[in-house]
């Protein structure tokens, strides 16, 4: 049975053991650099789905930005009347249709993918031009800007390719230090 991780404190308590196990396997180390959550699960830890987004945000962006993203998720959900995954292009498209912001019609489809990270921060957001069309859009756009401040974790497909040795990025050891209040932060 997998060891359950249900909070940031659970992850911190297991950090030394996780890092030792990751560093013992060079392929897992390369894959962990691309997506640490998938690597943790590969080590037979189970991450509570309710805290998974918060853990990912904390690992990727630091506590300040992670807290801000959690607040923005709640604000978007309140304005939308349902939970919305701001990182899921299809969920965002459904929301925009539900709210009457975009119509379901033949023709060009609005790009609802989140902005991509690029050195220096987020790239342009294709939803920016819609900002004033509904109260849900400012917090949604703010969420997407903050989230794109750092590269997203690799998909499971890329993680598995790295694990299987199909790609060889220059990573030989994964090291980390988890201290309270000191993870890197994204500019808000």
pLDDT bracket for residue 13 (50, 70, 90): very high
Distance (Å, whole) CA 156 – CA 24: 21
User: Can you give the pLDDT at residue 120?
Assistant: 73
Residue 110 above 90 pLDDT?
Answer: no
As a whole number, mean pLDDT of residues 61-78 equals 95
The more confident residue out of 116 and 132 is 132
Residue 175 above 60 pLDDT?
Answer: no
As a whole number, mean pLDDT of residues 144-162 equals 90
Residue 173 above 60 pLDDT?
Answer: no
User: Residue written as tokens 């995954």?
Assistant: 85
CB 74 within 8 A of CB 148: no
pLDDT bracket for residue 4 (50, 70, 90): very high
- Name 93's Cβ contacts closer than 8 Å, sequence gap at least 6: 102, 109, 110, 112
pLDDT bracket for residue 103 (50, 70, 90): confident
User: Can you give the pLDDT at residue 136?
Assistant: 97
Joined together, the tokens standing for residue 182 give 């000191």
Distance (Å, whole) CA 13 – CA 9: 6
Identify the DSSP state of 45: E
Residue 109 above 90 pLDDT?
Answer: no
Distance (Å, whole) CA 21 – CA 33: 14
As a whole number, mean pLDDT of residues 134-159 equals 93
Give helix then strand counts, H and E, for the chain: 8, 4
Residue 73 above 90 pLDDT?
Answer: yes
As a whole number, mean pLDDT of residues 18-47 equals 93
Residue 58 above 90 pLDDT?
Answer: yes
pLDDT bracket for residue 186 (50, 70, 90): very low
pLDDT bracket for residue 171 (50, 70, 90): very low
The answer to whether the Cα torsion of 127, 128, 134, 135 is positive or negative is positive
Q: Looking at the DSSP assignment, which residues form a beta bridge with residue 118? A: 121
Where are any strands of DSSP class E within the chain? 3-5, 45-47, 117-118, 121-122
Q: Name the nearest CA neighbour of 139 among 68, 83, 82.
A: 68
As a whole number, mean pLDDT of residues 159-163 equals 89
């Amino acid at each position: 049975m997998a060891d359950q991780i249900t909070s940031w404190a659970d992850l911190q308590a297991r950090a030394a053991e996780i890092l030792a196990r990751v560093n013992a396997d060079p392929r897992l180390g390369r894959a962990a650099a691309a997506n640490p959550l998938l690597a943790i699960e590969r080590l037979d830890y189970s991450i509570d789905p309710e805290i998974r987004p918060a853990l990912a945000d904390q690992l990727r962006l630091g506590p300040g930005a992670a807290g801000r993203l959690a607040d923005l998720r709640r604000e978007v959900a309140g304005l939308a009347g349902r939970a919305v995954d701001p990182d899921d292009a299809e969920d965002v498209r459904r929301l925009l249709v539900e709210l009457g912001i975009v119509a379901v019609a033949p023709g060009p489809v609005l790009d609802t993918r989140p902005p991509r990270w690029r050195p220096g921060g987020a790239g342009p957001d294709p939803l920016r031009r819609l900002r004033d069309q509904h109260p849900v859009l400012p917090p949604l756009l703010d969420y997407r800007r903050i989230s794109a401040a750092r590269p997203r974790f690799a998909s499971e497909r890329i993680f598995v390719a790295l694990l299987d040795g199909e790609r060889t990025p220059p990573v030989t050891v994964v090291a980390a230090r988890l201290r309270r209040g000191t993870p890197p932060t994204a500019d808000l």
